[in-house]
Amino acid sequence: MSTPADGRYIGIDLGGTKVEGVVLDAQLAPVARRRVPTERERGYEHILARVTALVGELQRQAPGCDRVGIGTPGSLSTRTRLLKNSNTTCLNGRPLLADLTDRLGMPVVLENDANCFALAEASCGAGRGHRLVFGVILGTGVGGGLVWDGEVWRGPQHLAGEWGHHCLDPDGPACYCGQRGCAETYLSGPAVEGAYVAAGGSRCSAAQIAVRAAADEPIAVGVLQGYYARFGRALANVIDILDPDVVVLGGGLSHIADLYSRGREAVAARVFNDELGTPIVANALGASAGVIGAALLTVPPGNARDPAADRPA
C-alpha cells in the first residue's frame, strides 16, 4: 500500500444519478475531482465501464496509488459476496467487488455509501470529536451509517445503520425491498414529491416544496408537517436503540432548515427519555462527504486526518 509520504488516494462515489471521483494527496487534501452521469438505466455493464473509465482518469493525478475506495448503494452479502439492498437495482445480485477488482487491476475497498458519508463526517466534518456517530442520508433513498471511534461499524451482516428499511407502517406504501411502509417510502425525496402531488400540488422537486412551505403554501406545509412527524418517529427509534453521541444529516433533504427545529421537536416527542440530548446537525462536507469517505477507506491506519484539508472550498 502507498504510504502517506508518497501516495495519493482515490475515492469513488457510485450514486444513482452520478459517479463522482476524488484524489486526495498525502496530506488528505483534495487535488482532483471528476463527475460523470451514472446512466443506470443502461445497466450493470455500463456502470462498470463508467467507474473503470473514471478511475483511469483519476490515476493520472494519483502516482503511487495502488488501491481504490468505492462507496455504493447497498452492501456486499457476507454469504454470497454479491451486492444486495441497492436502490440502483441493476447492481443487486452482481459480483460488483470482484468485477471492479478485475477491471481495475488493483484491490478495491467497497463500502456502503452511507457508511462513507458517516466516516467522512466523523473523521473531518460535523461528527468530529464524537465517539458514536450516526450519519443519515435523506435523498433519493434513505440510508445511514455508524462510525465508532473513527471506524465504520458494519455489523456481521453488513446491515448496521440501515434505518431506511425499518417499518413505520406495515400497511404503508410498497418499497423496492419487498416490504411495505419502510422509512424510505416516507422520508426520501421521491416520497415527498409523491405526497405533494397526491395532496393536489403540481409535480416539482422536494427542494421546491420546501420553498413553498416556507412561503406558507397550505399543501406544502401539510406535506412537510407529515414528513416531520414520520422523521421524528423513525429517528427516535434509532436513538432509542443506539443512543449515538451525534446524528449528522446528509442528502438533498438535509437542506430543509426546519428539520433542525420542527423535525427535532418531533424526535424529542417520541424518544424514550425525558429530554432529547442528542445533537442533530447538518453535515459539514456537503455533497463531497461520500466521495471523501470512500477515499478515506484506503488511508493506512494511524495516518492523521486534517479536517481543514478534507473540507471542500
Q: Which single residue is written with the C-alpha cell 463500502?
A: 111
What proportion of the chain, given as a percentage, has pLDDT over 90? Answer: 82
Count, residues in the chain: 313
Q: Check whether residue 137 and residue 260 sit in a common domain.
A: yes
Residue-range definition of the domain harbouring residue 21 = 9-116+287-310
Q: Check whether residue 152 and residue 206 sit in a common domain.
A: yes
Alpha helical stretches, state H, the chain: 44-59, 96-104, 113-124, 184-187, 189-198, 206-214, 218-242, 262-270, 289-296, 307-310
Number of domains in the chain: 2
For position 311, what pLDDT does the model report? 38
Q: Check whether residue 268 and residue 139 sit in a common domain.
A: yes
Q: What is the pLDDT of residues 262-293, one digit of tens each?
A: 999 999 999 999 999 999 999 999 988 999 99
Q: Check whether residue 28 and residue 169 sit in a common domain.
A: no
For position 303, what pLDDT does the model report? 57
For position 302, what pLDDT does the model report? 59
Residue 309: pLDDT above 80?
no
Report residue 128 as a C-alpha cell: 468530529
Concatenate the DSSP letters of all residues of 179-234 into one string.
-BSBTHHHHSHHHHHHHHHHTTPPS--HHHHHHHHHTT-HHHHHHHHHHHHHHHHH
Domain contains 4: no
Q: What is the pLDDT of residues 230-274, one digit of tens each?
A: 999 999 999 999 999 999 999 999 999 999 999 999 999 999 999
> Do the bridges between strand 68-72 and strand 280-282 make them parallel or antiparallel, or are there none, so unpaired?
unpaired
